[in-house]
Amino acid sequence: MSDEKIKIELVYALSAEQILLKLEVPVGATIAEAVRLSGILDKHPEIDLDKGKFGIFGKLSKTDTVLREKDRVEIYRPLLADPKEVRRRRAEEGKVMKKGGGEL
């Protein structure tokens, strides 16, 4: 890698805290390298570079993706609830519960 640097952002959102780091990384750096260089793994060891999910501007990306100037690297957490399952349960409850306010 050369001495040239690019500016990127790295974001990680927890339920009670949102982290936004502005970094300069070497040209040719990958998502994995940016995460390591950011130091976020020291503060949040639950981030797994091998099994975790990462993206650039909302698009799922592999950790070996080479970054470009002004990329926004996003670190995704596992979902606590499956959205499809939650919708299915709500739909079932809706069938049992009466809709509307009843007779006036």
User: Domain with 65 in it: what CATH number?
Assistant: 3.10.20.30
Residue 81 maps to a domain: yes
pLDDT for residue 101: 54
pLDDT tens track for 14-72: 888 999 999 999 999 999 999 999 999 999 999 999 999 999 999 999 999 999 999 99
Residue 76 maps to a domain: yes
- CB of 4 within 8 A of CB of 27? yes
Q: Which domain holds residue 39?
A: 5-96
Residue 101 maps to a domain: no
Entry pTM: 0.73
Q: How many domains does the chain have?
A: 1
Distance CA 84, CA 82 (A): 5
Residue 24 maps to a domain: yes
pLDDT for residue 103: 55
Residue 74 maps to a domain: yes
Residue 50 maps to a domain: yes
Please give the distance of CA 19 from its chain centroid, rounded to a whole number.
11
Residue 103 maps to a domain: no
Residue 61 maps to a domain: yes
pLDDT for residue 102: 53
Which residue in 102, 51, 43, 39 sits closest to 76, CA to CA? 51
Which one-letter amino acid corresponds to residue 27?
V
Tokens of 26: 């070497």
